[in-house]
Amino acid sequence: MNKRSFKDLLYEQVARVGSAVASPKRLELLEVLAQGEKTVEQLANELSIDIKLASAHLKRLKAAHLVTSRRAGKHVVYQLSGDDVALLWVQLRQVAEEHLLELRLALERMVAAPEQLTPMAREGLLERAKRGEIIVIDVRPKPEYDRAHLPYARSMPLSELVSRIAELPRNREIVAYCRGPFCLMADEAIELLKGKGRRAHKLSDGVSEWLAAGLPLESTDTTQE
């Protein structure tokens, strides 16, 4: 193999990853799987697509070694092949936000006042939560919280928020987060909390953004090594 052919081969291999993520639905699959492993059926439901299409997208991601799978009874369970894949999603999204005006405008329309926290602000948030000055709630499903969550965060899934709102004191500021800036669960939670007279705002970070910033995460999943 000559030098040109060898160099072409190198770029071709990297392009396999680029090709695998060149789909809105496959990018969303990476974001959802960054929260923890899920069955094909769960993923299809999350993305509002049929199981056959979800399986096809997952096959493309698996071919590029971005996800792995295992069989659990009648179900096939998928997970990211490593934390670096979650970081790839975060970095790709951040580059898009920096260079695509259309994306920034879409984010501004999605929430009235999108919050972009700097690493220093994140650390300040940790200190305030540690001192009990604010209450941080994780509104994702409980299994996702168990796998990884922000320090000092309470699990309060969106589906349980109405029935558990009395657990949140009225005299304390509440910060809600979910899977990242594209996730709408925290926005729904904030709307509900404000409607009940609570002082609340959204943290645009999810666990992937926290990981990318080099900040600590906690886990209550006893099945993890």
* CA-wise closest residue to 12 among 23, 26, 28, 1: 1
Q: Please name the residue that has the structure tokens 């168990």.
A: 146
φ and ψ at residue 69, rounded to 5 degrees = -140, 160
With beta carbons less than 8 A apart as the criterion, state whether 139 and 177 touch. Answer: yes
158-182 exposure pattern, b = at least 16 Cβ within 10 A, e = fewer: beebeeebeebeeeeebbbbbbbbb
Give the separation between CA 78 and CA 62, rounded to whole angstroms: 9
* CA-wise closest residue to 57 among 36, 90, 32: 32
Residue 178 bears catalytic tag: yes
Give the separation between CA 225 and CA 223, rounded to whole angstroms: 6
Alpha helices, H only, 24-178: 24-33, 40-47, 51-63, 83-99, 101-110, 119-130, 142-147, 161-164
With beta carbons less than 8 A apart as the criterion, state whether 45 and 34 touch. Answer: no
- Active-site annotation holder among 20, 34, 175, 178: 178
With beta carbons less than 8 A apart as the criterion, state whether 101 and 61 touch. Answer: no
With beta carbons less than 8 A apart as the criterion, state whether 162 and 172 touch. Answer: no
Catalytic residues: 178
